[in-house]
Structure formats: C-alpha cells, structure tokens
A and B are shown apart, each in its own frame.
Chain A
Amino acid sequence: MRDESEEEFDVFVMQTQPQLERALAGHLPGEIVGDAVAEALAYAWEHRERVLPMTNPVGYLYRVAQSRSRRRKQGLLPWKSDDTIPEIEPGLPAALAGLSPKQSQAIWLVHAAGMTHVEAGEAMDISASTVANHLGRGMTRLRTELGVDE
C-alpha cells in the first residue's frame, strides 16, 4: 500500500522530471540523460525530506545528476534529435557545443529548459547576474559564428 510520502513524491517526479530531462539534455550525451535523471530522482527519493521543500529542486537535482553521471561521459555522441528539426540552423548544435561550458550551459538552461536566470544560477552554482553575462556573451558568439542577426 502506498503511503502519503510516496504519493507526494510521485507528484514531485511528475513536476520535475520533464524539466530535469530537458535541462540535462543540453549538457549530457543523449544516451545517458535518462540514466542521470533516474539517478537524480533516486537521490531525491532517498533525501526527499530535504529535496522536496527546496524552492528550486530541479537546479539541485541537475547538479546531482551531473555528479552521478560524470563517469559515464564517454560516448559524447551527437543528439540524433537535432537532425530532425528542419527549422534550426544546421550549424547551431555544433556552435553551441563550441561555446565555453558555462556559456552553453547558461544558454541551454535559460532558452532550452526555460529556467529563469535565478534558477539557472542555482543549477550552475553561480549568481543570476553571472548567468546573464554568460548568456549574453554566448548568444553574441553564437550569432557571430552562425552569421545571424537575431
């Protein structure tokens, strides 16, 4: 019989898993994102009393997932899903990957994962203003690299 805490955690998973998957999809190779998410959620379950009340658990679990997946960062295969989006600049995935880690991470968390600067800052362990710095400079570099104006 499921107790109340399990039901509460299920709700938590429903709320956090999609954004966590999306956030990690910009940082980890595709083949290990699922594993990383599962590891992070398992950690969240084991530490649910501390994790669930957090104001930004996704940011925290994002770091947990990174830590737990670090040793699996072997393949670094490109995301096949990128090839299926006809409307993106062909060079965008490579240009993103060519940015500094912080810049690409900030761009991904804000624009792809929909985090606020504050949330992205918590996920990256930096301040919101620094997120903005990385974001602005990264986007400028992207535009320069891709030769686009907007």
Chain B
Amino acid sequence: MTLEEQIHRMGEARAASVNTPSWRDRTDEGVGRKRWIGAAVATILLIGGLAFWPTTPDPGLEISNDRASSSSDEIWVPIGDVASVSHGAISDWHRSNDIAVVRSDDGQRELFTTVTRRSEVVDGDPTGVWVRDGYNLLIARDSRWQGHIEVRSAHLDVETLEQLAVTPSIRHSIETVADWIADQAPGADVVHVGTRNPIDLLVISTTDELTRRSAPGRDFIQRAGDALDLPIETNDLDELVSSLPQRQVDAREWRTIVDGLLGEERPQLFLVDFDVVFAPPVELSMTATVVDHNGSSSIRLDFNDADAAFKRARSSDINIILGGVTLIFGRASSAIDAGSIVLPARLLEDEAELYASLINAEWGNAARPPTSTARSTQTGVCAANPVPTDDVLDVATHIAFDRTPLDLDQDGIDDEMLIYDDVDGNWWLVAQLQTGWTNALDLGTPPTPPGLAMTSEGVPAGTDLDGDGQLEFFLSGYIGPSAALVTLRECELVDSFFVNEAPEGFGASFGVQIGLSADISACQGTSCATRVRCVGDVLTQELFFGVGPTDLPGSWATAEVRLDPSGVITTTDLPVRTVLPFETLDDPPTEATTGVIDCSP
C-alpha cells in the first residue's frame, strides 16, 4: 500500500469515527449565543464610551449623550441623534476621545466612532471599542487582560452595529468578544493580543473575503491564535512573542514584508512592537514636523511629489505605526494627495519629536530621493495587471538575502528579490517589481548553505528560456551550488526547480533535473546548458547553468534539447567541456540528431 493509500485509509477511518451532532441545534444555540455576545459587546461599547466620555466635547464633533445610561447590567449606547459628519472622513475619527454615533452625509447610514487616546489606554481604564464602519474595524481593549483585539470584518455592517448599540448587555471579557467575532465573521481569523503597554503584539483578523487576498496574513494569525488559544495565558503570549523576530528590523525590510502581507488593497495591518514599522506606498517620501494640537502634539507630514507617488503606489492607504502607536491607519489618500496631513494620533511632545525624527530618518526627503516621474510610465510585464501577494509570504524570522536588484521584467528598471525563512523554517523567495507587483514562492527546505545571496552577475534573469512567452528568472548562490529557477507565469511566480546541491560529477556548477513537462528547450542565457538523459527509467531533461564559485570551474555535459508532445526529442550534443563560471556558451550547434530516448530497463 502506497503512502498515499495509507493516508487515504486514515481519512476513511477517522471520518468513520466522527460523530457529528445535529447542526439544527447549533443554529438555535448560535442565535442565543449571538444575542448574549452581542449584549456583551454592547457593554464594552458603553464602558469604553463612559470611560472616555469627554467633559468637553470636541467642537468638531457634536456629541449627544441624552440617551446614554448605564447600570450594573444594562447599558444603552446612544444612536442616531448625534453629529453629522462625512462618512469616511477619516480625519474626524481621531478627534475625540469619546464614543459617538454619527450619521453619514446621505442620512442613511449610522456608525459608531469610538476613539480612545493612547494615554488613556495606558493609564486609565483600558477598556474600549472602536467600531468604524467603512473600515470595518473593531478594536477592543480589556482592562483585565490588557489585551488588544482588532478585527476588520465585512460582516460588521451598519445594521449589526446598530443592533449592538441597542442591545442590553452584561459583563464582558475579551473572550466573549472573540466569540462574537467568530459568530459575526465565521470565516475570519481571530485576532489578538498584547499583554503589556505599549502593545507587544497586535494581530488582526480578517473576513474570508479579505483573507482570500492575504493568505499569509491568515496563516500568521492562525499561528498566533493557535499559539495563544483563549483564554490568553501570559506564558503563551510570551512564547509567541519570543518566536517572532527579535532583532531590530530595518524599516525597508519590513516595508517589503508588510507590503507583501498587505496586498493590493491593504486589507490588513500588522503591528509588531518593533521601533519602526512603516509601510508607506512605494516611493513616497515626506518630511515630518511636530505640531501643537490643542495642548497635545501631533505630527504633520509633508509629502513631496505625492501625486506621482500615489499614481505609482499599489494602494492609497498608508499605515504608519511607531512604537505601538498607530499614527495613521487606513485610507488617507485624499489628505496625502493634498500634499500634507496631520497624523491622527495625539502624542506627548517628546513622543511626537521622537517619532518625527524616526520618520524623517527612514522616509524623509534626505533618506529617500524624490520619486522620479519618469518611472511612472514603465511597462513591466506585470504592470498592467498587478497581482497582490496572496499565497505564500510569511513573516520572516531571518532574511537571508538582502533586497537584490534584478531587472526581473526587463523593463529597464531594477526590481527586487529577497529570500527569507519564516517561523516554520520554510524558505520563501519574494519578488517585487517596481510596478508594485509582489509575489512569493515557497522554496521549502533551506538552501545549502543557508547563507545564500542572489546575484545578477551572469544570470539570465528575466529570460524566456523556453520561448513560451514567460520569463524565467535564475537565482544562484555565490557560496555554494544552491540555485533556483523561477518562472513568472501570468504574474505568478512558479518554481521550476530549486536545488541545494550540484549533481554528481559537476563540480561547483549545478544542474537541475526537469521533468518532460517543463519543456525547456535551447538555453539561451549566459553560461547555461541543457541535457536529456535517462535517470533510471525516467527520461529526464536537465538544464545546467555555469554559476558557482568563481575559482572553481565545472565540467559540463551539454546538449541542446527540444521536446515535442509525442516525446520525440531533438538534441544537439556538445562535447563535455570545462566551462568557467559565467562563460557564455556561444558555440553554435554542430550536428542535430532526432530520435527517441528509450529509458525502459
């Protein structure tokens, strides 16, 4: 019995032992539970609202609390009779440290805006909830756990929020919120957590629709959720935190990673308490200055060439998180397009100065030259149809390769690639074009040796080796024989092969076995060759690249190979020869032979 058949048998046996209770009962229970949990969340809303109810309402947002009342076990949140603000006016949501219900301009939609200031979260009752329709954001803070839950959920529609607002409630906990989230957004991933302030870790859940765009985010959250499990145990959290990257992460590295995680529409935000996690759109530069805002400090960002930057950016969202403080969260394109924005967060003066200096150091005009408008006209192969990263990118624990410039799409502009391993020990290759397109590929086992670096020297990067209209990229290790060939196929990275060791007898160069379906014919890149041979009883096509340590020549058996669908191959054998690394195989074929290689024993 093959291994596959054994696994099939396991599936049969396990399924036979499953005893599924009636789903109808669950439906009834679910209704009851929803009501209870909804009530609990409403309690959070109220407690949060009361805790941060302003003594002097922000003049920019009219607040009515006539209908607010509370008792030990019943709480009502005002709804519908408050201020009229423009729906989606993100600059308003930060204004007050209170709870408010606002009506959109069209008069049809009502939504909560509950905002807490950081100082109050730290020093005061840290219980609060933000619910922001349009951004579908819920943040719950719980005084007992001092945890932090954040959810973006398309299921948190206005009607749901209204229902929550008028639901009598009982005492709550983060667990009940998590339950409620699970009910409201059953496809969503839950979401945690931080045990200390400033927040150590924030993981955000998304709905099915959003996670579909960012499976890596879902996986990350899954691991976090699995590691934590509810109720939150401090030890568990410490374990999780300790498993996350501990070293200081360069902002640019993080930008690459976060960009990949966020995807085109930036449905998620990831905050890990590194000093700087900053994921602005590509090529955006800015100058940060501290401004006074009614006694507190904020930061104003002045963008240079913001219009050009955003035309090239994948998203008009911007997320800036510094030291656990969210300075900007969400869509801010209109403000940025205007050339400047005052960040929502209200800070102590020294905090603001610190963050401003960090922003300037990382993303200021001096650190990042103004965007070249000439680049906005580039036409890379994936420029017209960018594909968000949605498959395999994970949070890295170790970035083996720095971002390496390679013109992957041959548009004359350097793109970038990096390789890193994730928390599971899997290795990933990430390619990011300057068009904003990003994709990643699971390389599986670690390269040998692990200290690889990519090189563009002698590499036929972005070459259509097999003439199928798709570009092949070739990455090689400069220390050892590890190498990978990846194919960009309809804007998705596909690994053709990845090798850790050179084939026997081929010295420092390396060879790669490719199945017949790979259909790679004449190798037209520099220092490459192909061969077809029998490996056992399997007809195998091999492609060789002459890349290795520069002081070690390799002996090559080379051949030009072409396959047709019937399995007939045409080979032009070249003599075994020694090829120095990066030497171009420019010898023309001398004799072509056509035939069938019979690999049968």
Contacts and interface: CB of A to CB of B under 8 A. Distances in A.
Interface of A: 13, 17-18, 21-22, 24-26, 30, 33-35, 37-46, 60, 63-64, 67-68, 70-71, 73-74, 79-82, 84-85, 87-89, 92-93, 96, 100-102, 107-108, 111-114, 124-127, 129-130, 133-134, 137, 139, 142-143, 146, 148, 150
Given A25-B18, A125-B218, A133-B444, A38 B25 contact: yes
A112 B11 contact: yes
Interface residues of B, number: 61
Contact of A84 (B13, B30, B425): B13
Contacts of A41: 20, 23, 26
B17 interface: yes
Contact of A133 (B1, B24, B175, B495): B495
Contacts of A112: 7-8, 10-12, 14
A97 to B, nearest CB: 11
Contact of B10 (A37, A38, A82): A82
A96 B3 CA distance: 11
Interface of B is mostly: helix
Contact of B6 (A25, A64, A87): A87
B20 A79 contact: no
Interface of B: 1-4, 6-27, 30, 175, 178-179, 182, 185-190, 208, 211-212, 215, 218-219, 222-223, 225-226, 229-230, 390-392, 424-426, 442, 444-445, 492, 494-495
Contacts of B10: 26, 79, 81-82, 85, 88, 92-93, 96, 112
B518 to A, nearest CB: 14
A39 B30 CA distance: 9
Contacts of B21: 34-35, 38
Contacts of B26: 38-39, 41-42
Contacts of A88: 1, 6, 9-10
B22 to A, nearest CB: 7
B230 A150 contact: no
Given A42-B26, A46-B27, 16 more contacts: A25-B18, A37-B20, A39-B26, A43-B30, A67-B185, A67-B188, A67-B190, A71-B230, A73-B229, A81-B16, A82-B10, A88-B6, A92-B3, A96-B10, A125-B390, A126-B215
Nearest to B19: A34
B441 to A, nearest CB: 8
Contacts of B215: 124-126
A92 B17 CA distance: 18
Contacts of B14: 22, 25-26, 30, 33, 79, 81-82, 112
A50 to B, nearest CB: 11
Contact of A67 (B182, B212, B492): B182
A34 B179 contact: no
A25 B182 contact: no
Nearest to B16: A81
B514 to A, nearest CB: 14
Nearest to A64: B186
A79 B492 CA distance: 38
B6 A92 contact: yes
B108 to A, nearest CB: 23
B186 A67 contact: yes
Contacts of A44: 23
A133 B442 contact: yes
Contacts of A37: 18, 20, 23
